[in-house]
A and B are shown apart, each in its own frame.
Chain A
Amino acid sequence: GAVVSQHPSRVICKSGTSVKIECRSLDFQATTMFWYRQFPKQSLMLMATSNEGSKATYEQGVEKDKFLINHASLTLSTLTVTSAHPEDSSFYICSAIGFIFGGQKSSYNEQFFGPGTRLTVL
């Protein structure tokens, strides 16, 4: 199946610094990628939709100047947490839409999730 990678898997940084998280589709081209945030024991909350070659669309309440998203190619989207603070500590998950060719079965678009990045801000 399609694979989505994230790097780094874990990052610890000091308050006030910026952190970049990469999301890559390894064996397919993804015109659309999504960034989610998951607090402990909670669900995934969509932060933004990233489309290749255009500006990201942010969900209400998500600061676009704080969470910078760049989708410069069909296989890479990056999330930069600027001037990170302890309240930004969370688990960040990306997903990418890939096309599944089902042959005799129906073909469809499917979302593939990365393994996530745990950010800890001290």
Chain B
Amino acid sequence: AQTVTQSQPEMSVQEAETVTLSCTYDTSESDYYLFWYKQPPSRQMILVIRQEAYKQQNATENRFSVNFQKAAKSFSLKISDSQLGDAAMYFCAYRMGNNNDMRFGAGTRLTVKP
């Protein structure tokens, strides 16, 4: 079974600083996708960034980037120039293949201090 582990229940960062959220996963599959989702107080799940396992290059989306270490099964999220609006729950997720369900980590609550 695939599992996703987020070892940081809570993190805080000063506005404009950089923070890294950790995620590890366990799988024996070769074709899979990894995601980071943001869940603000509204509870709407918002896709932050996605990574295809077959791609060696780390995904980036503006201030968000990942450090994908396939051999170590690690997928951390770096948020640069943190903004107050970045405060939310962040979930790391794994999906096997293209049409399957997602498995989520326990989440990390990020607080941004002004």
Count of A-B contacts judged by CB separation below 8 Å: 40
Q: What are 10 contact pairs spanning A and B, CB under 8 A? A: A43-B104, A45-B104, A46-B103, A91-B43, A93-B45, A95-B102, A97-B99, A108-B98, A111-B95, A115-B42
User: Which residue on A lies nearest to B45, using beta carbons?
Assistant: A113
Q: What DSSP secondary structure best describes chain A's contact surface?
A: strand
Q: Is B44 an interface residue (CB 8 A)?
A: yes
Residues of A within 8 A of B45 (CB): 44, 93, 95, 113
Q: Is the CB of B99 within 8 A of A43?
A: no
Q: Shortest distance in angstroms between A3's beta carbon and chain B's nearest beta carbon?
A: 11
Contact call A43/B102, Cβ cutoff below 8 A: no
Which residues in window 84-114 of B have CB below 8 A to A?
91, 95, 98-99, 101-107
Q: For the complex, count residues of A whose C-beta is within 8 A of B.
A: 20
Tell whether A32 is near chain B: CB-to-CB under 8 Å: yes
A26-63 interface bits toward B, Cβ cutoff 8 Å, 1 = contact, 0 = none? 00000010100010001111100100000000000000
Residues of A bordering B, CB below 8 Å: 32, 34, 38, 42-46, 49, 91, 93, 95, 97, 108-111, 113, 115-116
Known: A43-B91, A43-B107. A32 touches B99 (CB 8 A): yes
CB distance from B45 to the nearest CB of A (A): 4
